[in-house]
Amino acid sequence: MSTWSIYGVEFNATVVGGITQQAGRLGTTIVGEARSGEPYPRNKVVTEQKPEVDFTSIECAAALAQCGALGGSIADLAAGLKLYAYMNLDGGLRAAGSTHRKITIVEGIVYPTTLSWQNAGLAQVAYRAMAKYDGSNAPIASTDDSAVPTASDDDERFTCGPVTIGGVTIDQVTSLNIEFGIEVMAKARQGAIWPTDIWIKSISPTITITTDDVLDWAAAAIPTGGLACTQANTILYLRKWNAGGTGFLSDVTAQHIKLAAAGLAHVETPFDGSGSDEQTTTLKLEVAYDGTNAPIAINTASAIT
């Protein structure tokens, strides 16, 4: 008897580490109702499967460098997208050699779903990959008795850095959540069970920020009627921790993450508190396309300016 742990996720031949969660779903639809007045169904058939996997990493820069805010085609990864079931060694740590399970997707779309941070925690980015049938092979396949690739250094840790919304400095941020807002469509043709076409229908991101400064709701900050934002005056940084030590890398070191967005910022919750806890204010940026840049422009190797 054996058990397995999670491992790094491989984009072609690049391993992204810091994986905190992974899960796969086959998305099976089964049809089979009772007919002809009978109380029991006589037949069950699989009419559809839409396989997908989710994974989350705290190596935010490494992950976003492989797949940014607009997602990407898995077919562009020569060796596909690969996840692993990492065999635990009975009586020890992890098994060596070709004893693990490899899960591979060779066609489809991989895209970020959220980028989030909570006070005193680490930033993390979550992804979803939806698989497409290539006409020959199962859209998601497993290979047993596989070796795992060399692990990443797993040396990236990020926290919230400076935040400016519409030219207004927000300096008491307690949580940050980016919904990348990517809607993917997958459709089967000619009676196929698996998707034969897959595409991005729309991208409509939102950025939600919670602060413990109720004065962020003000005419001089984010007013009741909202505030127009450009990518030039709306910038969020994720500050990189100094690996193996304390504190952060210096601001001038180009290893921080910079996110810029345009759109309309508004106050979602002007004040919220209970008991003796401090009140919070929630701000939301409804991201819009400025006609030139990606809705959220990401630089994974930026200085903080």
Read off the pLDDT of residues 175-198 as tens digits, 9 standing for 90 and up: 999 999 999 999 998 888 999 999
Q: Which of 159, 162, 181, 180 is nearest to 170 (CA)?
A: 162
pLDDT-derived band at 17 (thresholds 50, 70, 90) equals very high
What's the chain's Rg over C-alpha atoms?
A: 23
Tokens linked to 265:
């910022």
81, with CB counted inside 10 A (0-12, 13-18, 19+), is buried
Non-local (6+) Cβ contacts of 92 within 8 A are none
Model pLDDT, residue 7:
98
Tokens linked to 218:
């003000």
Q: Which of 64, 49, 105, 126 is nearest to 255 (CA)?
A: 64
- H or E stretch at 245: none
Average pLDDT, rounded, for the chain: 96
200, with CB counted inside 10 A (0-12, 13-18, 19+), is middle
Model pLDDT, residue 253:
97
- H or E stretch at 63: helix 60-66
Residue 49 has pLDDT above 90, yes or no: yes
pLDDT digits (tens, 9 = 90+) for 84-97: 999 999 889 999 99
pLDDT digits (tens, 9 = 90+) for 150-178: 999 999 999 999 999 999 999 999 999 99
Looking at residue 84, its amino acid is Y
pLDDT digits (tens, 9 = 90+) for 208-257: 999 999 999 999 999 999 999 999 999 999 999 998 778 999 999 999 99
Question: Is 8 within 8 Å of 19 (Cβ atoms)?
Answer: yes
Residue 55 has pLDDT above 90, yes or no: yes
Q: Which pairs with CB-CB distance under 8 Å and at least 24 residues apart come from 185-191?
A: 186/50, 186/130, 186/132, 188/48, 188/133
Residue 134 has pLDDT above 90, yes or no: no
Model pLDDT, residue 256:
98
Tokens linked to 23:
């899960």
Cα–Cα distance for residue pair 281/209, rounded to 1 Å:
8
Model pLDDT, residue 8:
97
Model pLDDT, residue 137:
85
266 half-sphere exposure, CB direction, 13 A CA radius: 9
User: What per-residue string of b and e applies to 160-170 under the rule 16 or more CB within 10 Å gives b?
Assistant: bbbbbbbebeb
